[in-house]
Structure formats: C-alpha cells, structure tokens
Amino acid sequence: MKERKGKNQKWRSTRKDYRMYHFTGKETAKYLLEGAAVCAAADYLFYQSLPVLLFMLPIPVLFLKMQRKKCTARQQRELNYQFRDALTAMNVAVQAGYSAENAVRASVKDLGRLYEKGSDILDEFRYIESQLRLSVPVEELFLDLGKRSGVEDIENFAAVFYTAKRTGGDMTQVIQKVARMLSDKIEVKKEIEATLAAKKSEQMVMSIMPAGIICYLKLTSPGFLDVLYGNPFGICAMTVCMVIYGLSYWLGVKIVDIEV
C-alpha cells in the first residue's frame, strides 16, 4: 500500500514496519500468562506472601515488552536471512543480462519456489514488483524496505544500491559484491549460533538449578526453609538472593548472545 501526493507523484509507503512486532490476541494472552506464572513461581520460591504477589502485578506487562523485543529481533533476523536469498536470486538475474528492475521480477519467481505464500520477503518483493509497474523507482523502494526493516545489512544495501543507481554505477558488480558479503556474514552468524547452541542449553540448565534446589528442599524437608519466610530477616535475605539470581541469569544470557 502507498499514498501519492503532489505534482511529482511522491509516494509514502504504509507497509509493515519490522522494527516493531505486533502481537496477536493469542500471543498477548500467552505472554501475559507466562509473566503471571513467573511472578507466581518467584513468590512461591522467595516469599510465599500474597501481598508480595499483588505487588508483582506490573511484571507481566514488563515481561510482555521483553517478549516483544525478542520477537522483533527474531522477525528481523528471519527477514535478513530471507533477503540474502533474494539478493542471490537477483545476482543470478543481473549476471544473465537483466536490468535491476527485471532482476526483481525474475527473483519473485525464484522466491515463490523457496518460500510459502505470506512470507515476508516474498510479500515485499511482490510489492516492489507491483510498484515498478506504477513507475516507482526501484532504488526508492529498496530504501523504503531498508528503513522499515531496521536491519543494518538491508539498510546498507539500499544505500549503496540507491547511490549506484543514481550515479550510473555498475549494478551487476554492486549486487554481486553485496550478495557475497551478506552471504558470508550470515554463514558466520549461523556457525556462531550452532557453536553456542550447546552453551545456551547449559546456561539455561544452570539458571534453573537454584530454583530447582529450593523446590527440592521444600519437597524433601518442608520445615527446613520456614525461617526464611514471614519475617523481616527472611524477606531481606530472599530479596538479596532473588536479585543475585536475576543478575546471574541476565549476565548468562548476555555472555552467550554474540552479535556479528
């Protein structure tokens, strides 16, 4: 979709913004329930107090925002991987003698064979193809996609493509070099992800262990931890433990989260 205005028929895209993930009703309910479950578990492990549980009511909303950030990053990562395939298809087309505009049209057919209907990159390239029929410059369409994507690789390609197109650069060389660089970068990312997969699992197990130990003590020795509940000293001690636990989890996630 787009809006046209002015004598020069300038256009403004109103398509999907990948910098923000929009939850469905089911996803919103799911993550709010997960946030409430985390609060209930934290209260059971560290406080066993209804007032404290009520005090934690805003946390599910914060949990929802955290999940939105994760879903946005996953959405952008998937778009980046898909864009690599689109550039590869365009590279093949321009090497066969197609212009940049015709390369986009040719890549739509290749993407249709690679991805299911409704996939982001297929929808975007079909949209670009439809706007080319309305004489919208292809370089402006890629700039718009780069801006909406929030993905550095796509933004860089769009900027280079725009400059080369407007200055009469060699589009074959531009697409070929960017496609190769993007492909190499994504391969490195995937290798790092594969290497860290086991470490992430270990980190998750280590994060669950303290809570598991408390649950084990509660089940096997019901009165052993009673001194830590229902009194000021116990509340302070368990609060310190919970803060340390939360910081340790956050630090563990940061350690295994490597950006390329």
- Tell me the per-residue pLDDT of 48-94, one tens digit each, with 9 for 90 and over: 888 888 888 888 999 899 899 989 999 999 999 999 899 888 888 88
Token output for 52: 């404290």
Q: Taking a C-beta distance cutoff of 8 angstroms, is the pair 155, 84 a contact?
A: no
DSSP 8-state secondary structure symbol assigned to residue 9: T
Cα three-residue angle 254-259-260, rounded to 5 degrees: 160
Q: Is the pLDDT of residue 203 over 70?
A: yes
Alpha-carbon dihedral of residues 124, 129, 130, 132, nearest 10 degrees? 130
Nearest by Cα to 138 from 157, 162, 170, 169: 162
Chain centroid to CA 80:
10
Length of the chain: 260
Nearest by Cα to 50 from 255, 257, 230: 230
pLDDT tens per residue across span 101-133 = 888 888 998 898 888 888 899 999 999 999 988
Q: How far apart are CA 26 and CA 259, in angstroms?
A: 31
Q: Taking a C-beta distance cutoff of 8 angstroms, is the pair 175, 90 a contact?
A: yes
CB atoms within 10 A of CB 218: 16
Residue 1: predicted pLDDT: 46
Q: Is the pLDDT of residue 6 over 50?
A: no
Query: Would residue 97 be called left, alpha or beta, if left means φ above 0 and alpha means ψ between -120 and 50 degrees?
Result: left
Q: C-alpha distances in angstroms, 237 versus 10, 180, 208, 234?
A: 63, 55, 19, 5
Q: How far apart are CA 99 and CA 105, in angstroms?
A: 10
Percent of the chain scoring above 70 in pLDDT:
93
Q: How far apart are CA 108 and CA 187, in angstroms?
A: 23
Beta strands in the chain (DSSP E): 2-5, 10-13
Residue 8: predicted pLDDT: 39
Nearest by Cα to 258 from 205, 193, 198: 193
Query: Would residue 75 be called left, alpha or beta, if left means φ above 0 and alpha means ψ between -120 and 50 degrees?
Result: alpha
